[in-house]
Amino acid sequence: MQKEILHFKEIGEAHRFRGTLLILHGLFGSLDNWQTVARTLAEIYHVVLADLRNHGRSFRAESMSYPEMAADVAHLIEYLQPLRTTVVGHSMGGKVAMQLAADFPNHLQKLVVIDIAPRAYPPHHQHILEGLNAIPLDKLQSRQQAEEILSHYVDLPSIRQFLLKNLYRTEDNRFTWRFHLPVITREIQQIGAPLTYSQPINIPALFVKGERSSYITDEDAVQIANIFPHSQLITIPNASHWVHAEQPTALIKALHTFVAL
């Protein structure tokens, strides 16, 4: 059976000869989260935004290991056949990008990882999963009702709005999620799994840390340097984990500088 291709969107196709930036979103996200940044980058580059498996409009699957998700992205790259590919991944997407570099090093020329390290992370989204699973989709009357339920589990309005961007009505006027919630709930331990690799990864890599984020520690910086000997780590001021949403101009500048090297 032919392998399915991830749902994707291309912007700036005319700049394909300048190189391609393939952007991967994080957990509970979709390619829509990167549209604003992508439009600016597409003034210079060919930009491809992708929905990872069980997210957005991509296919549903019963497992979510990083080797599997990296293989999905490799298949997309083989389908698109871009020139001089730089893969950019945020959070979970950053782990997928690292795994791609480990398993398919010939599929990309450069790597950008935003606010995630190669190590294992303990599950820390349980309150979000509890809140999402508490929303009765079959009885839900409005988005406002969904936000009210979610507010008992997720304090920050910005995070609730981010999650609820995935809630939509089907053609028969029922509510459902863009992400595959049952599988994400079941496989959440896999989302925290570490990078698997057999030797140092020599692809040029840029790691980006949000100044106010705790996802990349000093100990992580040592591990990153050991696994990715041709990497650099920079910090974006006044940014938390959501670097692309909070400091898009600084991130875009850093991407331009790195890709142009």
List 91, 107, 180, 213, catalytic entry: 91
d(CA 176, CA 136): 10
Question: How many CA atoms lie less than 13 Å away from 108 in the CB half-sphere?
Answer: 34
Residue 241 among the catalytic residues: yes
Sign of torsion over alpha carbons 222, 227, 231, 236: negative
Residue (of 96, 57, 98) closest to 73 by Cα position: 96
Reading across the β-sheet that carries 110-114, which strands appear in turn?
A: 8-11, 46-50, 20-24, 85-90, 110-114, 205-210, 231-236
Residue with tokens 């795994």: 99
Which residue out of 55, 90, 241, 244 is catalytically annotated? Answer: 241
Residue 23, token pair as written in the block: 């952007």
* Euclidean distance between CA atoms 47 and 121, whole angstroms: 30
Residues 6+ apart with CB under 8 A from 73: 6, 22, 24, 50, 52, 87, 96, 97, 100, 107
Distances (CA, A) of 63 to 22, 46, 66: 23, 31, 10
Active site annotation includes 30: no
What are the residue numbers of the active site?
Answer: 91, 241
